[in-house]
Structure 1
């Protein structure tokens, strides 16, 4: 199963990477698919019964109350609050480290080999300059991010279709990316780690009872990354000589994942924020407000 991994162009020995010793297990397709199926199955089984009221309306009302309060007293136990805070703080710090480690690699490749080679990484320069290890750890982090869903269930709330699809699809997409090393994946690593740094920092604060403003901007940033990511991935496929057949297949898997995810995020944003969200993307704020 792993005889073709890593790709021959990648000169990094997986055993020398952080947590590389488990790569012989986690980089097996059967392990990945069974993990995703187990995650989806357990989440479906553990879901609390659906509330008859509108989830988006209740959530929006809860957020409005929190904004007015500024700081609210947590209704959870101190131990659970500490767990949620440390979980989000860890992911915020890890995401920040990933971004500050990966972005300079891309810039260095572009500076030394030109924009097209940097965009496509035709020579696998970025992958062999540290990106391969960063992407592998990023793939592993997608398993740990399942704790996000565990926290939701522990709070007695249901995991939405967006939540479940997002986490399961991220594991599949990153597996394909690390397995074949297409250029589109380092966009995912760099941009997604940047947004996660901000997002998990935000949630670390909310876990302590603070209510920072601008959650709709986080959602807008996530939607924007999907739009540009889809454009990046599509370009890497159609640009002559940019990637090989295996890379195109991995990129296609990511596109298949990203398109429904974009729809789910936009639907969530419209339901949650309504006109406030639409005005963020409107060229005519007054007209949107009137509408």
Structure 2
């Protein structure tokens, strides 16, 4: 295949048909998300939890399947790019061709899926489950951050999408079978995997900042790198705190009756 340098063909030529330019939809979604949580909790205050386990299972199986398609698709495209252009182009993507277009499409699909994932919260409220700061922050922030990764043209962002969809295959499968009544023993290891994912995401972003200050062409904007890593640090801290509170809290010793 003949590649074209990205300076000769605008990246917008690839993503314009997929409506990823900034719009009021993004802030409106976040505002409506938190408003929905408040309103639904008020509606459910004096009601019994709804039995929607089967619907939850279907919802999670859909996300599991979607994540698997994205994970395998990105892996396939990365192998093609590596085979034809080498490791540097897998990371920096300083070319435009059909493989690049397909990789961009996975990133765009990943972004749009974050809107559907907001139903995770709807089901929690309908079942009157407690929601953590981690859950609310994570679901609210991934919408603008995922959009920013596409809009800012930061090519190495596909590493984060790849890692995230890989973890989500396992995570949403866990939630699906949990909703069906199964109680997998590996919840602790799933949380550990999520923590490892954030470390891997931030570690994989380090070459970008090195290339940036060395003046080596690598597609992307500095502001996207900074904001994505700030988000990554915040999520890492919240996940580690969740892990500590959930798995490392010692139960008080049982007093013996004399």
TM-score range, shorter chain: 0.7 to 0.9
1:143-173, Cα deviation, whole Å (9 max, x unpaired): 1100111111111123211001101111111
Is 1:31 equivalent to 2:25 in the alignment? yes
SS at match of 1:181: coil
Change (3 A) 1:105 1:145: same
TM-score, with structure 2 as normaliser: 0.82
Offset from partner CA, 1:54-74 (integer Å, 9 cap, x none)? xxxxxxxxxxxxxxxxxxxxx
Determine whether 1:161 maps to 2:133.
yes
The separation in 1 between residues aligned to 2:208 and 2:99, in whole angstroms, is 16
| SS of match in other structure, 1:183 | coil
**Distance (whole Å) between structure 2 residues aligned to residue 125 and residue 164 of structure 1:** 38
User: Which stretch of the first structure deviates more once superposed, 118-127 or 224-233?
Assistant: 118-127
Helix, strand or coil at the partner of 2:205:
helix
Alignment match, 1:42: 36
Inter-partner Cα distance in structure 2 for 1:76 and 1:30: 33
* Residue 83 (structure 2) aligns with: 111
Per mean C-alpha deviation after superposition, the further-off stretch among 87-96 and 157-166 is 157-166
Q: How many residue pairs were aligned?
A: 233
Does the residue aligned with 1:159 lie in a helix, a strand or coil? coil
Separation (CA, whole Å) in 1 of partners of 2:13 and 2:69: 23
Which residue of the other structure, out of 152, 164, 167, is the alignment partner of 2:124? 152
Residues 102-139 of structure 1 deviation map (CA, whole Å, 9 limit, x = unaligned):
11111221222222222222225586240111111110
1:187 correspondence with 2:159:
yes
- The 1:204–1:9 alpha-carbon spacing in structure 2 relative to 1, beyond 3 Å, is same
Q: Answer whether contact 2:81 2:99 (CA < 8 A) is retained.
A: no
The alpha-carbon deviation at position 46 of structure 1 amounts to 4.1
The CA deviation at 1:180 is 1.7
- Give the gaps of 5 or more residues in structure 1: 1-6, 49-74, 277-291
The equivalent of 1:255 in structure 2 is 229
Between the aligned partners of 1:107 and 1:128, the Cα distance in structure 2 is 12
Are the counterparts in 2 of residues 109 and 126 from structure 1 also a CA contact under 8 Å? no
Aligned with residue 219 of structure 1, among 166, 191, 213: 191
Q: For residue 264 of structure 1, what is the aligned residue in structure 2?
A: 238
2: distance between equivalents of 1:232 and 1:114?
A: 17
Asked if 2 retains the 8 angstrom alpha-carbon contact of 1:10 and 1:127, the reply is: no
Who is 2:5 aligned against? Answer: none
Structure 1 partner of 2:55: 83
Structure 1 segments (4+ residues) deviating >6 Å: none
Distance 1:124 1:233 in 2: 21
**TM-score, normalised with respect to structure 1:** 0.73
Matched with 2:218 is 243
1:210 CA displacement: 0.5
Distance 1:126 1:164, change over 3 A: farther
The residue aligned with 2:3 is none
